[in-house]
Structure 1
Amino acid sequence: MKLSALAAESGVSTASIKYYIHVGILPPGRKRNATTAVYSQAHLDRLALITWLRRELGSPIESIAALTRSIDDESLENIELMGICQRLALEASNVLKSADPASPPAPESSSVENDIRGVLHELGWPDISPTAVASMAGVLDELSASGYQVGPDTIRRHIQSLAEVASKNTSPITDDLSRDRICIEVMRGITMHNRLLITTSALVHASLSAMPRSPPNSAPETTKFE
């Protein structure tokens, strides 16, 4: 397709397409002659990715460029690429803090991370996402610091409660998709599902809080997050 057709089908202006080509996040079209280039489905997939990143995550061009370099790196396996997408989505959602070059390096593995990996091993699940493990460990550390009791049982309950939903969410992500489409599916799934989890959690906590409680004179129980 020509540039005008690419713009019409993608919903991205010709000026923006030319800019994306100029900054290197969109490959140029294949030259048909001195004045005309043709574009393919790969360009549509890349424009869909760029548009989603800009609209949903507010990603700057520099972050998009880093991701597209990873996508175009054929030596990088899809599972590694998905880990990069996870990190980008979690950082944009403020679940995972961006690394500060001036801060000291984190320890290789915390006790909470070891608990998480222990539960994964117990369930027979592969431990392939250091980003996800570190993110969950960080939240559990914050819960612990706030007075909640956390441990392997907490980890197990949360992982198992999400297993059925996650199995359905990840089923469309296959190697048959282009790498750009894989990135969109991974990041959109994480971002939208995180929003759903937060709102569902608010609903459940509000409903349970309104239910009858134990009598005031009953012995207080230790706060526990399960």
Structure 2
Amino acid sequence: MKLKELAVQSGVSTTTLKHWIRVGILPGGRLRNRTTAVYEQRHVDRARLIVVLRDSYNASTAAIRSLTDVIDSDAATLEVMNACQAFALGISEGVASDPDHEVFRERTHELMRRRDWRGYPGAAEQGLALVLAQASAVGLDYDVEELMEYADALEPLVGRNIAALRPDGSRDEVARRMLLAVNARARQLVAVSSLAHAAASIRSAIDRGVAPADLAMPPAASGK
């Protein structure tokens, strides 16, 4: 396909595609003659991946190149998925050895031991220790028992989430689906948590008699 067709299939303008080729995050096409290059499905997959990294994660060119370098290497698929998790969770170099996070790493490891969860060392393990440290800094200090309660709720959903990733297609496509899923899952959990907190605040106001009993009720079910 020509560059114009690549733009149509990827949903990216030819100007942007040329820029990505110039900065080295999108491979150049195969030259058919001095003025024309042709592109393949791998270029479509890479462009669609870059769109997710740019739009869903606001990633810099350097960050995109760092991840695509792993995808283009001979790393195993699990290593590619770990790199995607590190990217999505914002795991920077040094997080795994930060002495200020030691107590949170031990809570993470205790959770993993109790549930027989594997993934050490890995981005997800490091990410949990990091967010536990960040939560503690604002007064939300979760212990292992509380983490177990979250795990009890989440673990039954994991199989369905993994199945939705569909491990078929190119490495770029697998990475794209994984990054989209991580972003969507995180936003869903935040939204449900926000709704629960809002409901608890309203219920507290009703119980204290400072708000009417029918405050903020959801609409009746359709057809009723």
Alignment TM class, shorter chain as reference? 0.7 to 0.9
Matches within 5 A, 1:60-99: 60-74=60-74, 76-91=75-90, 98=92
CA contact (8 A) 2:88 2:183 kept: yes
Q: Residue in 1 aligned with 2:178?
A: 186
Match of 1:196 in 2: 188
TM-score by length of 2: 0.79
Correspondence for 2:19: 19
The one-letter code sitting in structure 1 at the alignment partner of 2:20 is Y
Q: Deviations over 1:192-214 (max 9, x none)?
A: 2111111110111222333369x
Deviation string for 1:144-188 (max 9, x for gaps)?
455556322112111221123332222133542311112212221
Contact 2:25–2:65 (CA<8 Å) still a contact in 1?
Answer: yes
- Structure 2 residue runs of 5 or longer lacking an equivalent are 209-224
Distance 1:48 1:148, change over 3 A: closer
Q: CA deviation at 1:125?
A: 2.1
Task: State the 1:108 CA deviation.
Answer: 10
Contact kept? 2:2, 2:37, Cα under 8 Å: yes
Identity of aligned residues (%): 33
Q: How far is 1:114 from its partner? A: 2.3
Q: 1:145 to 1:26 in 2, by over 3 A?
A: closer
Give the superposition deviation at 1:10: 1.5
Q: Which residue, 201, 211, 219 being the options, matches 1:209?
A: 201
Task: Give CA deviations for 1:90-120 in whole Å, capped at 9, x if unaligned.
Answer: 22xxxx5x458xx9x5139723322322222
Any idea what the Cα deviations from partners look like across 1:6-46, whole Å, max 9, x if unmatched?
Answer: 11221212222122112111111123333322211111110
TM-score (norm 1): 0.78
| Separation (CA, whole Å) in 1 of partners of 2:137 and 2:19 | 47
Do the aligned residues in 1 keep the contact of 2:52 with 2:179 (CA within 8 Å)? no
Number of residue pairs matched?
206
More relative contact order, 1 or 2 (CA 8 Å, 6+ apart) = 1
Say if 1:139 and 1:61 are closer, same or farther in 2 by CA, change over 3 A: closer
In structure 2, C-alpha distance between the alignment counterparts of 1:143 and 1:7, rounded to whole Å: 42
